Amino acid sequence: MEALDDRPVTKVTCTYVGCDVGLSRLRRINRVIAESAEGARITFETERNGTTLSGRSLEQLLTAVHESTEPGNPDDIDNIEVRTAGPTRKIAFAVDAATVTWSVEGDTSWARGVTEQIRALLVEAGGRTQASVGGLLYAAVAVPFVAALVGLLLALNVVPRTGFGLLLAGSFVLFGGLTGYVAGRIRRRRDRCRLSATGELPPRRWWRGANAGDRISFVLAVIAFVTLVVNAAKVLM
């Protein structure tokens, strides 16, 4: 029988975005790691204000955070890393606000099996490998497209070349650009990972998590749409 140390070694590294890792899912992932570690030492770590806190289990890590003198809400943990290393098999799992990354190293069948178990749990959590493009890129694509469409409508006299007609065309272009920007920002916000080591996560709500710039852009897009409708009514009457 082939010895474990003589088997080919495979290392699989994966990165996902958009994951919602609440307490129950974090425990399920930790269970997969613990069962796959086969008795090897497991370390849980989190970094707060430049200080690394650690424990041998999730519960020990949470205790270390609550007992530390670092400022901030001890229940607000935004990053966790779990590592285990045996003689021939290693697992590292890390989650923060940007991504979830994990690597599995060992004999090929074992490494692929553990990778698929973790991948399945993260897909359930909304994880995916492809990050969305930004709002500015969406707007950069939307504005020329809408401008070309408006130019065609003006050339065909579908939209009259009057003051109101040109105002309508400008409103259309502005609405297209702002809509593209907001859509891109919404998609990028969906790429962010969320972590809760003390409870479950609420459903995602874009408006609740949007910053001031995103909300202003959304309001401007609504205003541009209303202006577009009003001007279109004036032109067509």
Positions of E strands within the chain: 9-16, 20-21, 42-48, 51-55, 80-85, 90-95, 100-107, 194-195
At 7 the pLDDT is 66
Domain ranges, residue 109: 7-124
At 39 the pLDDT is 78
Q: Final residue of a domain: which of 93, 124, 155?
A: 124
Instruction: Kindly state whether residues 99 and 189 are assigned to the same domain.
Output: no
Reading phi first (left if > 0) and then psi (alpha if -120 to 50, else beta), residue 38 is in left
Instruction: Kindly state whether residues 31 and 105 are assigned to the same domain.
Output: yes
At 135 the pLDDT is 46
Is 129 domain-assigned? Answer: no
Each residue's pLDDT tens digit, 37-76: 887 889 999 999 999 999 999 999 999 999 999 898 999 9
Each residue's pLDDT tens digit, 194-208: 999 999 998 877 666
At 162 the pLDDT is 58
How many whole angstroms separate alpha carbon 133 and alpha carbon 47? 29
How many whole angstroms separate alpha carbon 168 and alpha carbon 166? 5
At 215 the pLDDT is 75
Burial of 211 (C-beta count, 10 Å sphere; 0-12/13-18/19+):
exposed
At 187 the pLDDT is 74
At 216 the pLDDT is 74
Which of 49, 36, 201, 215 has its CA nearest to residue 126? 201
Q: Which amino acid is at 165?
A: G
How many whole angstroms separate alpha carbon 226 and alpha carbon 11? 55
Tokens 């975005």 belong to residue: 17
Is 130 domain-assigned? Answer: no
Kindly report the backbone phi and psi dihedral angles of residue 140, in degrees, each rounded to the nearest multiple of 5, phi listed first: -65, -30
Instruction: Kindly state whether residues 100 and 158 are assigned to the same domain.
Output: no
Instruction: Kindly state whether residues 49 and 156 are assigned to the same domain.
Output: no
Helix axes 108-124, 23-37, angle to 10 degrees: 170
Instruction: Kindly state whether residues 88 and 171 are assigned to the same domain.
Output: no
pTM of the full predicted structure? Answer: 0.70
Q: Final residue of a domain: which of 124, 152, 184?
A: 124
Number of domains in the chain: 2
Is 90 domain-assigned? Answer: yes
Q: How is residue 5 annotated by DSSP?
A: G
Where the chain has pLDDT below 70, the residues are 1-7, 131-175, 206-211, 213, 224, 227-237
At 31 the pLDDT is 93
At 88 the pLDDT is 84
CB 81 within 8 A of CB 92: yes
